[in-house]
Amino acid sequence: MLSHGKNSQVSYFVKKGCLRLFYINEEGKDVTRYIAFENQFATELVSFITNEPAQETIQVIENSELLYITHDDFRHLMTVVPKWKDFYSIYLEKAYVNNAKRLISFTTLDASERYKQLFKINPNIVKRLPNKIVASYINISHETLSRIKSKN
């Protein structure tokens, strides 16, 4: 859908299926930053806002039905539909809060607690996605996730 280094001037809405945003870190490790299921938006937000090359890749994980809007159309909607600007503000706030909480959990919770928290907050990730992606999302190794799941 979107490769690292390409410009992202499209925002996707997931009608059905799942999208994943990830990057490869300096150690060559796949790091999942965001997962979008039904009725959620997904875009490489930094590239979408700045028109700079994307630092992340957007990947389709399941058979999906997607809608999309271009950056120009998105901005146009904000000028002609005042509620669209409100929606965007709320979307950005929620994205910030979710990312901040996730990053904090990486240093304040152990691997087992992160897995339990993820299952509580977003069980779809655990139920629908391969362990490799789940582990990447909560910043633990695939092997650690396997040990945690075998104990539960």
pLDDT digits (tens, 9 = 90+) for 73-109: 999 999 999 899 999 999 899 989 998 999 999 999 9
Residue 149 lies in a domain: no
Residue 137 lies in a domain: no
Show the CA angle centred on residue 142, arms to residues 24 and 55, nearest 5°.
15
**Residue 61 domain-assigned (yes or no):** yes
**Is the model's pTM score more than 0.85?**
yes
- The CATH number of the domain where 23 resides is what? 2.60.120.10
- What is d(CA 131, CA 147) in angstroms, rounded to the nearest whole number? 11
How many domains would you assign to the chain? Answer: 1
pLDDT at 151 over 90: no
66 belongs to a structural domain = yes
Residue 102 covered by a domain: yes
| CB count in 10 Å sphere of residue 138 | 22
Alpha helices in the chain (DSSP H): 45-50, 71-80, 82-108, 111-121, 123-128, 131-137, 142-151
| Structural domain boundaries, residue 102 | 10-108
**pLDDT of amino acid 68:** 96
Q: Is residue 4 part of a domain?
A: no
Nearest Cα residue to 139 out of 19, 2, 22: 22
